[in-house]
Amino acid sequence: MRRYQDDDQFSFERALRELEHQGLRWERFQALFPFGFLGIREGEYVQLVEAALRSISDTAGQSHFMDLLDMQWCAHLEQLWAMSSYADEEDAYVGEMHFADARLQIGSNIRRDFNLPEKDLRKLMMSVGGDDTLADLLTLGISISPNRRTKFR
């Protein structure tokens, strides 16, 4: 998917300018907040999210926007945990996991700053453990052990 007509690369400056001038257009969500994209600093990510939130006029829309971002990071973190389980090196994705986890914490902080309903999906993701997956939590509503160390083998 091309994010911008003239460019295949994500540009923080271009994305921020778009959000500040045009606001969040929902059809541009994936282009402005690509799945699993960790190519910008945490502070820049905060600026993009806050610019998008300021452009959404109602609390329900803001909350839905944050839910979508959080679910992207939850799914990405789940993928990283699975890939790490199958990797030859156990710590193969530890850096990416740390930054994806940080995005969930940033989401919680921003929810609080904007007085949005708190979801604390970072805590939820850390409670998934053993051979359980996020899909287990979603479909079965089961209680899952703390201290995640997923092994799929």
pLDDT in tens, 86-98: 888 878 888 898 9
Tell me the average pLDDT of the chain: 83
What is d(CA 33, CA 72) in angstroms, rounded to the nearest whole number? 9
pLDDT of 149 over the 90 cut? no
pLDDT at position 150? 45
pLDDT at position 141? 59
Phi/psi for 4 (5° steps) reads -135, 150
More confident residue, 36 or 130: 36
pLDDT digits (tens, 9 = 90+) for 44-86: 999 999 999 999 999 999 999 999 999 999 889 888 888 888 8
pLDDT at position 7? 46
pLDDT at position 67? 93
Q: Taking residues 105-118, report their average pLDDT.
A: 95
For the chain, percent of residues with pLDDT exceeding 90 = 54
pLDDT of 21 over the 90 cut? yes
Maximum distance among all alpha carbons in the chain?
49
pLDDT digits (tens, 9 = 90+) for 26-35: 999 999 999 9
What is the residue extent of each domain of the chain? 12-140
DSSP 4: B
Task: Return the SS3 of 67.
Answer: helix
Contacts of 21 (CB under 8 A, 6+ apart): none
Burial level of 99, CB count in 10 A (0-12/13-18/19+)?
middle
DSSP 35: T
Task: Return the SS3 of 92.
Answer: coil
What is d(CA 36, CA 29) in angstroms, rounded to the nearest whole number? 13
